[in-house]
Structure 1
Amino acid sequence: MDLYVLFAVLAVTLIAGLPVGVALGLASLAYVSLAGLPDAVVLHRMVGGVDSFPLLAVPFFILAGHLMNTGGITERIFGFARALIGWLPGGLGYVNVGASVMFAGMSGAAVADAGGLGSVEIRAMRQAGYDTDFAVGVTASSSTIGPIIPPSLPLIVYGVMASASIGELFVAGLLPGMLMALALMTMVAWYSHKRGYPRDGALALPHVSQSFMRAFLPLLTPAIIIGGIMTGAFTPTEAAVAAVIWTLILGMFVYRSLTWRHLVRVLFDTVETTASILLIVAASSIFAWILISNQIAAHLASGLLGISSDPMFVMLAILVIVLVLGLFMETVAAITILVPVLLPVATQAGIDPVHLGIVVVLALMIGLLTPPVGLVLYVLAGVSGVSFERCVKATVPFLIPLLVVLIMVAFIPQLSLWLPQQLYR
């Protein structure tokens, strides 16, 4: 009976439009009260849920992304990508994807990519005569590469919830992220051929060299983050601090594009974003504790494995669950709710936790492009001035290559596990 109340309160509060963190907290509090447990249990579990050293990386990576967008670093990255591959037919579509790959190695968040690079990319594509639907679709889909290629905020949260190595998760995302970029570029090539999109000028090596020099220092950021983690120079959390320091040096002292006024606004934005994420993590920790204590994961595991213990079947079931939940929930909330339930099932079926993490995050990235939540679509609707409904329609074709990559990564484990096995095991 208490569990029915838990899910009923959660459903009602979400339908009422309350933030996910608040909804999870209220549902958990209702359960605890009915179960006769002290209300202090909620606070204790919530504090314990965010009392984690790896989670310190979250605000620092968010801050680094905001600093890059505010300091004009994203425009330097876009300029270099444009000079490098803009000469291809439909060049700005390739540039859009390529710039997202570069920015992915710095921010770790799809929304940061969509809100920062998105405004630059859509404006440039419109001015060059590209259809608005194509510009919005490729911008939305390419932004999902950000949380797959390291660093990644969702993978940090997953690593904390699953007690998995964040370093291994970061490395595991490299190849799937590149596959996403290749699949989206294939889609761009098809659109460019069908619609006769132009080249963005001829290839000019002096221009490539000049734009590379302008973007050289920002492009060192992924090398600092990934190289430092892989060599053991610092942990993922320390890498986030290093990224912030490096970005501050670039913005305030090298390019001088960041003022103290900018910095204050960026800090406030970072605090707001971080608070919303950590509230979800904290509330989800008590919610997950309730599910675990009631053996929901064990019941799901026995149910699925009772049908078939074949890893392929279990992975297919997990994909369906994650894709459906991704339609309705924000990424961090979905991870914190799903991991305690799905991880025991996957482990019993012989699925590696690192592999599961990449699959779950990639599936939830697709959820960012689908209504009714579709957070990236809401961001791009504001950036581009296009209605949310039109953004949805423009993005639908680009879901095809992303789903193909998701299926490949889910059912070919070595695509995500080969690099971690070479470097960590």
Structure 2
Amino acid sequence: MEYLPILVLVLSFVVLLAIGTPVAWSIAISSVLTMLVSIPVLPAFTTVSQRIGTGLDSFALLAIPLFILSGELMNKGGIAHRLIAFAKTLVGALPGGLALINIVSAMLMGAIAGSSMAAASAMGSILGPEMEREGYSREFGAAVNITAATTGLVIPPSNVLIVYSLASGGASIAALFLAGYIPGILTGLFLMIVASFWAKKKGYKVGERSSFKQIFKTFVDALPSLFMLVVVIGGIVVGVFTATEASAIAVLYSLLLGLFYKEISFERLPKILLDSTSTTAIVMLLIGASMSMSWALSYENIPQEISSGLLGISDNKIVILLIINLLLLFVGIFMDMTPAVLIFTPIFLPVVTKLGLDPVHFGIIMVLNLCIGLCTPPVGSVLFVGVGIANTTIEKVIKPLFPLFIAMIIALLLVTYIPQLSLWLPSLFDL
């Protein structure tokens, strides 16, 4: 039966998730079951096991644990406090000042640490109580924090963009990193507009205007942290080092910075290393399992079937991109970002390249799209972190979250249909 592998894959994956099986194991088990449609039991198990192992055998993937470690060091190293102080002097006097501070700080944190979880945790624990003291509702503060934290996955350095580079078969990491800046900043600006209107409507308190002296002082305090951008991204773009080498430099730089700020001590290092190792283990298991599913899909010719099906619906680029965006928004509700990128890139990339879309542009569309899924139940990891830190419930956060979702979707549509928003910066550097 032509559609039996697709049916087995989808049904087994959904059922496994529904009964509470961890995502990584759901992916691996459904991959085995899909392979059993065509080959005997022993080769199916052996092949999936091999693909989990060989899927992790990549020099580029070494950047992920190192960027995770550098993110942990930055989160514990006092960097968040300095970025918040700088953001406060820039936008604190605008309507919804504290909400805007959260968004700007999250964008800066993402541009340095590249972790939505780190940004949501840091900004929520530092700014959440302050927003409540100033009269902001707890739910609005959580909604702003949750959506703003995802901008760090588009603004480089981003682990997900490295994963996409691997899944796409070699899209330039340097080009992807540069391509993420304008879409990430654009998303942040749309979130700021919505947050400002909401705060003005609710009559939330406006902060005092900062003097040039205060702005300059906080900028100088944050400058060593911001210099990480120049070191890491500048080095990759100019070609001084690879993304993997840049991640090692990021670890060393963030460690030295934390020791310089006296926020990190050698006694605290084992706990930081343990936390980053735990996160790395989860991410790597997801990547390995997703690579096995990606191979199973390819073996069963499922990407070709879906590609033919989509192109059979229409050959209009606008229509196809709209369908793919809707499918990815649906996927993001039920699947974490890393496995979604690894599984669906081989499916959708051949379709969009036939329509003349640049793989770098599609990578930004995909990541920006799946960022929305991180803010939605039942699998949205950033949603649960933000709600947990704010000590509230998902039901209460949905109302203030909805207009921020709309802002993210508008940004996604602009990035989807205006390629230069993604491709202009890489083209400046001939990437």
Relative to the length of structure 1, the TM-score reads 0.96
Per the alignment, residue 181 of structure 1 pairs with 188
Question: 1:131 & 1:4 partners in 2: Cα distance?
Answer: 45
Note the residue ranges of structure 1 that are not aligned, 5 or more in a row.
none
Per the alignment, residue 270 of structure 2 pairs with 264
- Displacement, 1:3? 5.1
Per the alignment, residue 149 of structure 1 pairs with 155
1:213 maps to 2:220: yes
Over the aligned positions, Cα root-mean-square deviation in angstroms equals: 1.6
Per the alignment, residue 247 of structure 1 pairs with 254
Per the alignment, residue 26 of structure 1 pairs with 29
- C-alpha contact 1:64 1:106 (8 A) present in aligned 2: no
- C-alpha contact 1:370 1:392 (8 A) present in aligned 2: no
- Displacement, 1:67? 1.0
- Displacement, 1:246? 0.5
> Helix, strand or coil: the match of 2:310?
helix
Cα-to-partner distance string for 1:216-237 (whole Å, 9 max, x where unaligned) = 2111111211111111111111
Per the alignment, residue 128 of structure 1 pairs with 134
Query: Which stretch shifts more, 280-289 or 210-219?
Result: 210-219
1:290 maps to 2:302: no
Per the alignment, residue 105 of structure 1 pairs with 111
Q: For this pair of structures, how many residues does the alignment match?
A: 424
1:202 maps to 2:209: yes
Equivalent position to 2:73, from 53, 60, 67? 67
Per the alignment, residue 20 of structure 2 pairs with 17
Question: 1:351 & 1:2 partners in 2: Cα distance?
Answer: 29
- Displacement, 1:207? 2.2
Report the residue type matching 2:182 in the other structure: L
Question: 1:398 & 1:63 partners in 2: Cα distance?
Answer: 30
- C-alpha contact 1:377 1:391 (8 A) present in aligned 2: no
Alpha-carbon spacing, 1:6–1:184, altered in 2? closer, same or farther (3 Å): closer
> Helix, strand or coil: the match of 2:335?
coil
Instruction: Tell me the percent identity.
Output: 39
Query: Which stretch shifts more, 18-27 or 143-152?
Result: 18-27
Note the residue ranges of structure 2 that are not aligned, 5 or more in a row.
none
Alpha-carbon spacing, 1:20–1:204, altered in 2? closer, same or farther (3 Å): same
Per the alignment, residue 315 of structure 2 pairs with 309
Per the alignment, residue 223 of structure 1 pairs with 230
Report the residue type matching 1:266 in the other structure: I
- C-alpha contact 2:111 2:155 (8 A) present in aligned 1: yes
Question: 2:274 & 2:424 partners in 1: Cα distance?
Answer: 40
Per the alignment, residue 332 of structure 1 pairs with 338
Question: 2:250 & 2:209 partners in 1: Cα distance?
Answer: 34
Question: 1:381 & 1:137 partners in 2: Cα distance?
Answer: 8
Equivalent position to 2:240, from 233, 236, 241? 233
Query: Which stretch shifts more, 358-367 or 204-213?
Result: 204-213
Question: 2:380 & 2:127 partners in 1: Cα distance?
Answer: 20
- Displacement, 1:394? 2.8
Cα-to-partner distance string for 1:118-175 (whole Å, 9 max, x where unaligned) = 2112122112222222211211111111101111111111111102111111111111
Query: Which stretch shifts more, 193-202 or 315-324?
Result: 193-202
- Displacement, 1:117? 2.0
Moved over 3 A (4+): 1-8, 30-34
1:191 maps to 2:194: no
Question: 2:36 & 2:379 partners in 1: Cα distance?
Answer: 31
- Displacement, 1:2? 5.3
- Displacement, 1:184? 1.3
Cα-to-partner distance string for 1:281-337 (whole Å, 9 max, x where unaligned) = 111111111111111111111111122112112111110110000011111111111
Alpha-carbon spacing, 1:262–1:388, altered in 2? closer, same or farther (3 Å): farther
Question: 1:322 & 1:200 partners in 2: Cα distance?
Answer: 39
Question: 1:137 & 1:6 partners in 2: Cα distance?
Answer: 34
Cα-to-partner distance string for 1:323-376 (whole Å, 9 max, x where unaligned) = 000011111111111111111111112211111110111110011111222211
Question: 2:194 & 2:9 partners in 1: Cα distance?
Answer: 44
Report the residue type matching 1:192 in the other structure: A
- C-alpha contact 2:328 2:366 (8 A) present in aligned 1: yes
> Helix, strand or coil: the match of 1:48?
helix
- C-alpha contact 1:114 1:379 (8 A) present in aligned 2: yes
> Helix, strand or coil: the match of 1:87?
coil
Question: 1:364 & 1:151 partners in 2: Cα distance?
Answer: 17
Question: 1:394 & 1:17 partners in 2: Cα distance?
Answer: 29
Report the residue type matching 2:269 in the other structure: L
1:138 maps to 2:138: no
> Helix, strand or coil: the match of 2:112?
coil
Cα-to-partner distance string for 1:57-93 (whole Å, 9 max, x where unaligned) = 1111111111111122111111111122212232212
